[in-house]
Chain A
């Protein structure tokens, strides 16, 4: 008996002091799909970052005689594009721009949208109405149309497409942030913090943010894939990256003329977009279920 009792006590001591995020991480590590997706993403991101040091062929160096080689050609494992540039090198280098333009707008929109949404949800009243009704105006347009319209107005270029995509993703994030904040604000611990004399900013920082960031973060991760596809779409339309920069959406556009000559090579940038989008989506699903358990 005493042995059992001692063990129980020891277990209690080991179990204590494990934070919420540590638990989320532990549950996420048990999710094989999420771990696999994270691994693929890390691999692609690392390859993109380290591209200049990987000993790849020059992604800008074309050759008229080596155009549109099929996949598996010696020295060009993934073939060459319509200007004879090495596809493998272009795909890896293309990841730099594509990932940047997929992640940066969501990150910016996450920061701006969370700020606006938390303020709207916490302050309520007229401030809430002002912020949320403004956001509703942006909701009136389909996101693709809005991105094209803003990009078109600002002109082609990476910075402009970044700005337009950020504007597209702020409204949905504000909505999510506002709704979770509104539900947290009514909880007694916020009242207790107010009763202890804390100001609105302190309460938002200490008591509200920690409880709303999780759901907003998960939602934002699910937007990364949408953003990548939209960014690719903008490049495809000639509103994003300009040639000869390697970027998956733009590559898809220029290779489209070769689709009858060498369809497999033409599909490669699309496959990259597909794989990265799916991985971000599955990872965000995994995070959602890892964070879903209350305790």
Chain B
């Protein structure tokens, strides 16, 4: 790889119609506990997750903490090894046709904790220049790039380049993390709760910055958050996860106005509202999520679902196309002839199982 290659994004292979990132059957089970004598149990952190991110799009992933959002992100970028599943980058299977190292140039990540994700012993400039240097760029060019990027994320290089992370505010540090992620000219940036730890006014500034950078560099985002308002603001499509599985996926407006899965509806009902009349006193769903070590059989949500019936604890629902194009839900109330009393009648033709979202 020559020096200048590091500064330009990797070439578009499949054209605009081909998804930039496809995730197929991604699973990760962690072995937990278990001593020399005890039995080891497994946490199904991510279980058979499928989705695609199209070029120039923002895909939001929402869910409670512990639902596998961050594990999914770390699996995609190769920080942890998946147990099963394929990650396909612009039509090329990661690990075979495209190497992990090349994939890591094309996919970068911004972490939630802006302080922990910066090395406290390196200056801002050194932190940003690290990635390009690793990929063979000369130190002086890497530092020039770091200063360029600092300016791009709204920090004056003359003032900030030589500073250390502890001398900066949370919003400034997150801008640095974004600059670091952009230093390798990636095509996909995974934002793992990237704005969640910031206060509201700073969060808005950083979100606007992300939108500007997306336009300027032609980026695609995978935006992971528990904050539905933020996801609605920035995303084109949304995936809802519960206990390591996708329960609903679809275009952002369809999902927010026409949610089909009881869990998604409960999440939406729990959103804080500015309208006093729209505020609810009751919790939309009761209890904590079940222990992911032994997820409930059948539909994983049935223990907390107000509509649960016998079938829900027996069979796992499949993602089924609903309403708007690209909108799919994994719920027995949506799946025809599932055995649930509220299930729609079986359609005459064979039902199409849609991989979400396409």
Contact = CB atoms under 8 A, between A and B. Distances in A.
Interface residues of A, number: 25
Interface string A170-210: 00000000000000000111011111111100100011001
Nearest to A17: B162
Given A196-B108, A196-B184, A189 B79 contact: no
A192 B180 contact: yes
A278 to B, nearest CB: 31
Contacts of A17: 123, 162-163
A294 B130 CA distance: 23
A20 interface: yes
Contacts of B134: 196-199, 202
Contacts of B108: 195-196
Contact of A295 (B118, B166, B180): B166
Contacts, number: 81
Given A207-B119, A210-B121, 16 more contacts: A13-B159, A17-B163, A188-B111, A188-B112, A188-B116, A191-B109, A191-B111, A193-B130, A195-B78, A195-B79, A195-B104, A196-B183, A197-B134, A199-B134, A207-B122, A210-B122
Contacts of A188: 111-113, 116-117
B79 A294 contact: no
B141 interface: no
Contacts of B162: 16-17
Interface string B102-141: 0011001101110011111111000100110011000000
Give chain A's interface secondary structure class: helix
B157 to A, nearest CB: 13
A159 to B, nearest CB: 36
Nearest to A21: B121
B152 to A, nearest CB: 18
Interface residues of B, number: 36
A19 interface: yes
Contact of A194 (B79, B116, B163): B79
Contacts of B101: 197
A196 B111 contact: no
Give the top 3 A-B pairs by smallest Cβ distance, nearest first.
Answer: A196-B131, A188-B117, A210-B121
A211 interface: yes
B49 interface: no
A69 B177 CA distance: 71
B186 to A, nearest CB: 10
B256 interface: no
